[in-house]
Amino acid sequence: MDNSESDFTDFTIGIIGLGLMGGSYAKALNHVGVQHIIGIDKNLQTVEQALAENLIEIGDICGNNALKKADLLIFCLSASDMIEFIRKYQKNFKPDVILTDIAGIKGNTIHIIQQLLCDEMDFIPGHPMAGKEGSGLSQSDASVFQGANYILIPQEKNKTENIRLIARIAKEIGCGHVICVTAEEHDRMIAYTSSLPHVVATALVNSNSMDARTKYFVAGSFRDGTRVADINALLWTQLFMANRQNLLEEINRFKNSLEDFTELLVNSDKDKMMEYLEKAAVRRRELTSGKHTG
């Protein structure tokens, strides 16, 4: 029986990085019955908290010999930290370990990691489109995966059964759809659907219009539009810079869209403004219904 059909709850799964997403993975995997979870985090207090909450069976602040037991490693680190961890501790990995990640931008990370791993180790890049505002283990929540999209970036070297295994785990923890794309497609789309909304949210709250009275005038639209402005600045700076060219292109497209609206407002063109808004409403409904007509 191959890995895609085996009972992965019998696997020993290592989670590297016990922050918001690593903690959410630990909670979700516990909920689906995974018995053996190893947690690694450089912060000892975080490891102790995860152990105290029974989220992990074994915990450590480094990639020690405990990792030799792990059948699957899930990296919940930035791309640079993941590369450094693998470079430092790869000797402690199981010879045929399966690896996956949640890095928001792929870039040349995949190639670098493949060069570091032994032949039988199988790195399958991934990106759960899940999360919430805030950071750290205390903010983690298994429900972030419910209905989420899960992106896989299969490589030529990957074993088919291992790709299917990661997809199956994604479904089991609650993800609604699993899609496969190239690294280039991933980074281009993420610039629009993830990075740009974070840029817009931070620009809104950094506007000179924000003052001490603003909170008394906030309703649903402002709360929803600025939710992700409660941001992990270090992580997102790394993500923005890693995908700089794609993000600049999306910012320019967004500027063009704002300029279109500005022109309608300047010209008091009610008819075309109605068309502009109706087009947006249709597109938004198609987005949530899974349809898109262009």
Q: Are residues 159 and 194 in the same domain?
A: no
- The reply to whether 72 and 195 lie within a common domain is no
Domain count, the chain: 2
Cα 106 to Cα 191, 199, 288: the distances in Å are 12, 19, 26
Bridge partners (DSSP) listed for residue 75: 16, 101
CB 14 within 8 A of CB 38: yes
- Residue 110 above 90 pLDDT? yes
User: Residue 294: its pLDDT value, please?
Assistant: 43
221 plus 160 within the same structural domain: no
Same domain, 161 and 39: yes
Mean pLDDT throughout 45-70? 93
Counting residues of the chain whose pLDDT is more than 90, the rounded percentage is 88
Closest-CA residue to 40 (of 71, 74, 7): 74
Q: What is the CATH number of the domain that holds 115?
A: 3.40.50.720
Q: Pick from 159, 181, 203: which residue ends a domain? A: 181
Start-to-end C-alpha separation, the chain: 44
pLDDT category at 291 given cuts 50, 70, 90 is low
Could you tell me if 80 and 151 lie in one domain? yes
Write down the pTM of the prediction. 0.87
pLDDT of residue 166: 97
Give tens-digit pLDDT for 189-228: 999 999 999 999 999 999 999 999 999 999 999 999 999 9
Q: Are residues 168 and 195 in the same domain?
A: no
CA distances 268 to 161, 261, 272, 273, Å, are 59, 10, 9, 9
Tell me, yes or no, whether 1 lies in a domain. no
Decide if 196 is inside a domain: yes
CA atoms within 13 A on the CB side of 94: 18
Question: How many Cβ atoms are within 10 Å of 226's Cβ, its own excluded?
Answer: 18
The pLDDT tens digits for 225-281 are 999 999 889 889 999 999 999 999 999 999 999 999 999 999 999 999 999 999 999
Q: What is the CATH number of the domain that holds 217?
A: 1.10.3660.10
Residue 207: its pLDDT value, please?
A: 97
Same structural domain, 208 and 173: no
Note whether 213 and 175 are same-domain residues.
no
Cα-based distances in Å from 145 to 26, 170, 176, 190: 12, 8, 8, 18
Domain of residue 67: give its range.
8-181
Residue 118 lies in a domain: yes
Cα-to-chain-centroid distance, residue 78: 10
